[in-house]
Structure 1
Amino acid sequence: MRKGVDQNLNLYFLNVILLLFCFHEVCCSSLDNLASSMRMDKKADALLPEISPDAAPQPLLPLLAPSPLTPFTNSTVPKLSGLCMLNFDAVESMMNMTSTDCMAVFAPFLANVICCPQLEATLVILLGQSSKDTNMLALNGTHAKHCLSDFEQILVGQGANNNLQQICAIRPSNLTEGSCPVKNVNEFESTVDSSQLLSACGKIDLVNECCEQVCQNAISEAAKKLALKAYDLLSMDGSHALSDHSTRVNDCKSIILRWLASKLDPPQSKGILRGLSNCNINKGEARANRTFFRVCCNM
């Protein structure tokens, strides 16, 4: 009988041990699964944006691919002279557009059509806008060299061709007064009828200006007045005076365009300058076909 009791006790302890073993396996397996699940949740959370308890949840945005134009642009920090006082910030948007119109690859092929007219207009507006601070519509030779170099460096840094001065035949002298005797804003406005000039050129009809020449005639008259301040035509030899006067008038026209650019906002100035530039191109073409030009203007 004692032997039977011992066997029953052994079976009892064996069952207890087996039960404890099974309980241990189940618990450990559950804990392992829980830990594994928590690790996976942490990895998933690492991919999600952090959300503040007080802030509204933000949408999950996929990573964007780089712009397809990136390989074709050249964005570098320009090396400026530090000696130019022109207000480049005033024409920032125009310079961005100019760098695009004069992109390194295409500038030589689109020079006369797109790049150079845009470049020349931007320079005129830059000088005009800067005159609000300097009261001068032209630079001296030394400053002109520094400013033209800085101007080109900024454009090249934005992806423009690095040979724009040669492509568009731009020289430091284009930023000076040339032979025009007037470059001070106060002297300019006391010499010409500025209100009439602004009325004629403040807003032009881009379709009819090439034929009616309202703004062009106003600029020509004002340029003649400025040129006459340099000398007395009656005291000079006739042929020499005519030639010299013609050069001065052309240089004074550049001064007038800068003054207009100082009175108008850059986009408006650009429209006027590009319109007048187109008229000059049309005049050149009209010399080859005067009949067509007369018919066009009489329509």
Structure 2
Amino acid sequence: MSAAEFAAAQWSRATGAGLDPHAYQRVTAGLESVADWGPAFERTGREHLRRARAAESWLSAGEELLRAARWFHVATLAPFAGADRSAAAADDALGRALALLEPGARRVRGPEFTGWLRGPADAAGTVVVVPGLDSAKEEFLDLASALLDRGLAVFAMDGPGQGALAATTAVRADYHRVVGRVIDALGVPRVAVVGLSLGGYYAAESAAREPRVAAAATVSGPFRLDWDELPEPVRDVLTRRAGSAAAARAFADQVDLAALAPHITVPLLTVDGGQDVIPGVTNGEPLARLAPHGTHLSVPHGDHLLGNARPDWLSQVADWITRALTSTR
């Protein structure tokens, strides 16, 4: 795949994650190959760090640090030798940004998870935001903002094989064990979980097996994976995040919600884009159909993660989570 083709494929995801579209075009126009992706995005992240140091106000500095976090994260979407360094830089920049912009934000760590708890101490409920295979907590800041605006507390996390933990941990299919530890660490009696891409499977699996999950939503989440049909780039990423090809295949074989769906007895919302067609991936409609209280939202023109259709689902999902979480208190 050429650099131009890769940039076009990542366009809606990158801009949906908050990158300025004009800056994205400028940076990707200068790429000669996909191998140049990571270093170019890292350089842009470092430029935002420089601007943060030179900023005349704490607000401007915080905003530049948030931009840096996004660029450092998106640098990791193509494999390169500095990917782990870039993920760590994204994590650091986000933490420094929140220290300026939201001094009440609290870093929460535990076995196989790390993240930031944001929002009021007397929030109406707490939402755990779970990223996917090659995503991280820095990618879904717009969703966190929408939930915070509705008076909820939000814990945006990296789990096994994700974000800041990608270099030291491997993906695991029994993600409810991680979510259980998160709930313990947050000290709350119940949470809603929203998962994006592979995080949608994690959210649904947790809703089926962790009784303190009171509501769950998935965005572009898989119902089932078929390793033999997955595109080679997806298998490559999964192999890196699992630690070996054998472990990746074993993980993919476990991603099947057919038996678990009837056990998701809490409110469940699945969101799919009609243009999100990935070989070897069954989307979320069967999950909503099999779950006792499932609802499916289909956006016909939406792609994977629906970065090209934010107005068609983001506010609806935030409203639904708020209603589902507060109405079952």
Q: TM-score range by the shorter chain?
A: under 0.3
More strand by share: 2
Bigger RCO (CA 8 Å, 6+ sep): 1
Give the structure-2-normalised TM-score.
0.25
Largest Rg, 1 or 2: 1
Give the structure-1-normalised TM-score.
0.27
More helix by share: 1
